[in-house]
Amino acid sequence: MASAFTLSIYPWVYTAQYQSDGNWQENYIEKPHKTPEEEAALSPEERDRLLASRNSFPEMPLVNYTTQYGLGCFEGLKAYPQPDGTLKIFRPDENGKRMQASMEGLMMPAYPEELFTEAVREVVARNYKIGFFPRYDPEWARDGFVSGHSIYLRPFSYSEPGIGLNLSKKPWVVIVSTPVGSYFDSELRPKAITTELVRAMPGGTGWIKCDANYVTPILVKKRVEKQGYMEAIFLDAKEQKYVEEGSSCNIFFFLKEGTLVTPKLGDTILPGINRKSVLTLAHDKGVKVEERDITIDEAMADAAECFVTGTAAGVAYLESITHKGKTAVFNNAELGDFTRELLLTLKGIQYGAVEDRHDWMVPIG
């Protein structure tokens, strides 16, 4: 199975740079490649050299506000193979809106949502035409498409040259794509543990999908993985009392009395696209939904099921949470019925097995 976040970048990439006249200069670039079959037959060394050439953008400066200070943002979204052989992208307009907001939050010229959506579609379409895409496999339906392959798209901003503390006034936006499979390490049990480290402070950039926000989550996630946990959970910065996010995803609790609760959005919570989608699906199923503060004590005492959401994670259940030496186990450490229902519905929509009632899936052509 393909793993998440490989650097097997597909040949067609996209760049756009903001110009002084207020427009974006767009370019679609075909990086070096062979046919997919020829590339699969290369030796590891030859393939590494080829892939390295696709991950090279010599026209962009090494020393700039992004590389020196983390002044940049990015997005993550997926295109999914469909039973009819086509590809569809999940809610690119929502990612476009969020990237526009992120760039505005970083006080740089904002890349318009309309350009974002069209560029994402065109990158996928160009790679599709030369055979770089995963083929739909009916066997994926056996596990609710958890093992399904897809295309991961990574749009990101990159600043012009600079070394002093300053803002980006002529940023680039770059879009690359790679094949991906399952996100979480299957060798780890879906257990979580809280951390005393802080992901975001009130009044900061926690609501922006910016580069700097991911340093602490990466460190924490790798630390807890060594302890046998799949996920770390961040609490609020002030009181270390309220649940905020997982290390790489939003978090939900399905309470024993039948209410679905997730921490309310604010300047310390990232507005996830899958988070928003799950809330809609829960409403569709007639479940009461609450976006509110929830303490770690309430979550551990009153939740029947717990799961996390994200572009990479999809909907992934947590069997337990450990906090200050105490462990709460949800649904006897098994995937709960409600979580399974949401998982199957969301994945089914994405892979064309369930009716797309909300028009979330966007064709590439």
Complete DSSP assignment for 128-165: HHTT-SPPP-GGGGGGTTTT--EEEEEEEEEPPB--SS
H helix or E strand, kind and range, residue 296: helix 296-302
> What pLDDT score was predicted for residue 3?
47
Copy the structure tokens of residue 54.
Answer: 């696709």
Where do the CATH 3.30.470.10 domains begin and end in the chain?
12-180
State residue 153 phi and psi, 5-degree precision: -105, 130
State residue 349 phi and psi, 5-degree precision: -60, -45
User: What is 191-334's CATH number?
Assistant: 3.20.10.10
CA distance linking residue 55 with residue 31, whole number of Å: 9
> What pLDDT score was predicted for residue 248?
80
User: First-to-last CA distance in the chain?
Assistant: 27
At the top level of CATH, the class of 12-180 is alpha beta
Amino acid 164 reads G
CA distance linking residue 287 with residue 152, whole number of Å: 31
The candidate with the shortest Cα–Cα distance to 253, out of 303, 296, 311, 204, is 303
Task: pLDDT tens for the chain, 365 residues: list them.
Answer: 334 667 899 999 999 999 999 999 999 999 999 999 999 999 999 999 999 999 999 999 999 999 999 999 999 999 999 999 999 999 999 999 999 999 999 999 999 999 999 999 999 999 999 999 999 999 999 998 988 999 999 999 999 999 999 999 999 999 999 999 865 556 789 999 999 999 999 999 999 999 999 999 999 999 999 999 999 999 999 999 999 999 989 999 999 999 999 999 999 999 999 999 999 999 999 999 999 999 999 999 999 999 999 998 789 999 999 999 999 999 999 999 999 999 999 999 999 999 999 999 999 97
In this prediction the pTM is: 0.95
Where do the CATH 3.20.10.10 domains begin and end in the chain?
191-334
Going by C-beta distance under 8 Å and a sequence separation of 6 or more, which residues neighbour residue 45?
none
